[in-house]
Amino acid sequence: MLLRCFLRSLGPCLLVLSLAGCGGGGGGGGAADPGGAGTGGGVASATGLVPAAPSTGATLQRDASVLRPARAGHVWTYAGTAVYGTGATPVAYETVTSHAAAASGFDERSTNPTNGGADAVTLLVDGGTVRTVERVDFAGKGVLETLSVLELRSPVVQGDQYTIVDRRYTDTAIDADRDGRPDALDVAAYARVVGRETVSLPDLPVLQAVRVDTTVLTRIRTSSDGQFSAVQASILQAWYVEGIGIVRRRLQAPGVPASQTEVFDERLLRWDGQTVGFGVMPEVPAIVPASAGPLAGLPITGLFGNSVKASIAFDEHALVFVVRESTVAGESQSMFVSRMDRRGQITAAQELPILPSADSKFLRHGNEVVGIEVTSSTQVSEARMTRFSADGALIDTPWSTRLDLGGLRASRTETRLVDAASDGSALWLLWTRSQPFDAAVGRQLLLRAFRSDGTPLTPETVIIGNGDVFPPPALSARAGRALVTWSEGLDTGRYDRYYGFASLAGEAFDRRLLVSGGLRPSTPASVITPLALAQGDALLWGARLAEDGPALPSAAGLRLDATGSPVRSAAASLDAELLAGMPTPYRAEAAGNRLVLAKIGGGKVTVAWLDAGTTALADSPVRSLAAPGTGFLGGSLPSAMLTWPDRVIVFSPSESRTIPLTTQVYWLNAGNPP
């Protein structure tokens, strides 16, 4: 990059001298930069162009190397704009920087910095200093000079200034005054640590960065009269973030003529560190790889568009279940399970001899996956279960495990599975039971826990004895306890909203009123979603619960403490417990104490997250990422999500099945809160 700064500074020098008829374009007799002469530490400047160093301030970073991570295989992608002259229309471009191991340090290659084509340097990180090795022909004689450019040094101190080059070249190929003799060239470059600043990147979280400015100064001294050209300056501003590297780079340089200014501004779009990263990765088509045997090349697209039956995260991979056309002769549909890595790429797939019902649930249970659906025999209504290994292989005969849901004969009972959850040791089932021929019973909402072999662990809990079960109740579970949310209609047309806890310890169902006489829950956004956290629980909703009014500007929610009580902010009502920046409607998941929400709008996916602490959710900072994707046109919600503490994989929405399913990785682990 130093070479590009130099060339952009030198060009106007040559032009100014040419237009001036070989006369001096600026002060003579060693005129220097107005900032004054001398370098930091009292060492005189050889050219007189390097200004005196300012006073130093606070230490910003003990180890400079963490601001410029160098690792083989890492890739940084930047979106750039170039303005070629004052008032010119900005030109958009993209440049990609990558690292590869070299005999000494790393090869750092950039595809298009400053929109000027490819460039390459050697990056050296050693002993707390960061240097780039560049080959520069300052004199224009065709002989490249190897220059070790000090980029950062430890400790990184505000106001620290260090000279990169300060030299007069007398034997040059420059003859601006056309007298047949070489003109002298002064080149000075120095870096100065400006301080810590906030950096805003499009659709990315706000970052705190260390800014370092590198200034390159050039001037020519003509051999015919010893006059100097005007000093031309290029200023490269760089913002560094710990663990990520350069997140923004801005070069301001003189144009042609020198009265014009050219500006190149490059901002980070994404950093792909293979196992870590920042931003949003490009879309990945969900296609079975060529190495996967008979299903190679098969798009993992559901029968009804990109619908995903289930996506289940394990520590280092995930399983994705879809129903689609069978590849087996004589079979119309089959279940397919695919293994996906944590970069959203399918690594293996298999077709299974099962076809689940529309209301079936698939969820992780320990280190397995269980599929549960409700069926009816001639005598009872029951749930049946299929178990899968963490690799997606069937463990037992499909649907061979029975879970008793009670009730009368199937001919007199209608049973529907509402939700299912696992706390790691117990499976919790939430279902409705209605008996059309017994008006005294009507529709019930019930909850029960089971072992993975189908043995009941608790008695049935009747949550609603006879009433309206709408909208769908919801369920989560952790540490031997289940959390249920539901609503109950009143004669006034209003609704009470509840949440409650059930325990494996045999305690009575803990029923709690959240909203008394609230609004009718008429949309999916008005469902209160329970989420299990590493410590405590959370309730989220996307529509008003209590009083009429305009649509909520964001999702709202509460954290429940160890006793199950809501942790409130200073907000006057539940509808004011807003999670500013959390989109609605949303698809929500939790990983550890992190809540993650995703929404699609305008061909762009927005992922927002917050880390639940000891305060109210409304008082917790929200961070977000957004990125466009061709597979995400239309729809408002992803068809599925996979969430880990450091990333989330978002699946494109349900569309026509002619559109292949795609995934995108959204990195959650890098950056710093606003």
pLDDT digits (tens, 9 = 90+) for 617-665: 999 999 999 887 656 656 678 889 999 999 999 988 765 555 678 899 9
Residue 270 or residue 434, greater confidence: 270
8 Å CB contact between 433 and 407:
yes
Residue 205 C-alpha from the chain's centroid: 9
8 Å CB contact between 270 and 277:
yes
**Least confident piece of the model among 9-18, 178-187, 339-348:** 9-18
427 by DSSP, 3-state: which?
strand
Instruction: Enter the tokens of residue 185.
Output: 């060239």
- As a whole number of angstroms, the distance between CA 146 and CA 128 comes to 22
Q: What is the DSSP letter of 430?
A: E
Question: Mean pLDDT over residues 152-157, rounded?
Answer: 97
Instruction: Enter the tokens of residue 87.
Output: 């008032």
Residue 235 C-alpha from the chain's centroid: 31
| Predicted TM-score of the model (pTM) | 0.86
pLDDT digit string, tens, across residues 386-434: 999 999 999 999 999 999 887 654 456 778 899 999 999 999 999 988 8
pLDDT digit string, tens, across residues 502-530: 999 988 999 999 999 999 888 888 899 99
Amino acid identity at 452: S
Residue 344, pLDDT above cutoff 70? yes
Beta bridge pairs of residue 628:
604
pLDDT digit string, tens, across residues 114-128: 999 999 999 999 989
Topology annotation, domain 279-667: Methylamine Dehydrogenase; Chain H (2.130.10)
> 582 falls in which pLDDT band (50, 70, 90)?
very high
Segment holding 15, helix H or strand E: helix 2-19
Q: What is the number of alpha carbons within 13 Å of residue 134 lying toward its C-beta?
A: 18
587 by DSSP, 3-state: which?
strand
Residue 229 burial by Cβ neighbours in a 10 Å radius (0-12, 13-18, 19+)? buried
Instruction: Enter the tokens of residue 370.
Output: 């269980």
Query: What is residue 572's predicted lDDT score, i.e. its pLDDT?
Result: 87
Cis peptide before 155 (omega within 30 of 0): yes
CB atoms within 10 A of CB 117: 11
**Least confident piece of the model among 197-211, 461-475, 579-593, 639-653:** 461-475
Query: What is residue 67's predicted lDDT score, i.e. its pLDDT?
Result: 96
505: left (phi over 0), alpha (psi -120 to 50) or beta: alpha
407: left (phi over 0), alpha (psi -120 to 50) or beta: left
8 Å CB contact between 581 and 608:
yes
> 87 falls in which pLDDT band (50, 70, 90)?
confident
Return the ∠ at Cα 308 (arms to 382 and 627), rounded to 5°. 145
Residue 383, pLDDT above cutoff 80? yes
Residue 191, pLDDT above cutoff 50? yes
Kindly list the distances between the CA atom of residue 308 and the CA atoms of 326, 337, 343, 661, in Å, as whole numbers in the listed order. 16, 10, 18, 9
Question: Mean pLDDT over residues 585-614, rounded?
Answer: 90
SS (H, E, C) 159-209: CCEEEEEEEEECCCCCCCCCCCCCCEEEEEEEEEEEEEEEECCCCCCCEEE
Residue 444 or residue 339, greater confidence: 339
CATH architecture, range 1-9+47-274: Beta Barrel (2.40)
8 Å CB contact between 185 and 203:
no
- b/e code 250-272 from CB counts within 10 Å (16+ = b): bbbbbbeebebebbbbbbbbbbb
Beta bridge pairs of residue 503:
481
Residue 356, pLDDT above cutoff 70? yes
- As a whole number of angstroms, the distance between CA 192 and CA 210 comes to 11
Residues 6 or more apart whose Cβ sits within 8 Å of residue 525: 541, 542, 543, 584, 585
- As a whole number of angstroms, the distance between CA 103 and CA 72 comes to 12
Segment holding 120, helix H or strand E: strand 119-126
- As a whole number of angstroms, the distance between CA 488 and CA 386 comes to 33
CA nearest neighbour of 555 among 544, 571, 565: 544
Amino acid identity at 431: W
- As a whole number of angstroms, the distance between CA 594 and CA 538 comes to 10
Residue 657 C-alpha from the chain's centroid: 27
Query: What is residue 659's predicted lDDT score, i.e. its pLDDT?
Result: 66
Amino acid identity at 614: T
> 137 falls in which pLDDT band (50, 70, 90)?
confident
Residue 525 or residue 265, greater confidence: 265
pLDDT over 90 percentage in the chain: 59
Instruction: Enter the tokens of residue 569.
Output: 């902010």
Question: Mean pLDDT over residues 29-40, rounded?
Answer: 33
> 19 falls in which pLDDT band (50, 70, 90)?
very low
Residue 458, pLDDT above cutoff 90? yes
pLDDT digit string, tens, across residues 216-262: 999 999 999 989 988 989 999 999 999 999 999 999 988 877 678 99
pLDDT digit string, tens, across residues 63-75: 999 999 999 999 9
> 328 falls in which pLDDT band (50, 70, 90)?
confident
Query: What is residue 440's predicted lDDT score, i.e. its pLDDT?
Result: 57
8 Å CB contact between 166 and 188:
yes
Query: What is residue 34's predicted lDDT score, i.e. its pLDDT?
Result: 30
Show me where the domains of the chain are located: 1-9+47-274, 279-667
Query: What is residue 297's predicted lDDT score, i.e. its pLDDT?
Result: 86
188: left (phi over 0), alpha (psi -120 to 50) or beta: beta
Q: What is the DSSP letter of 21?
A: T
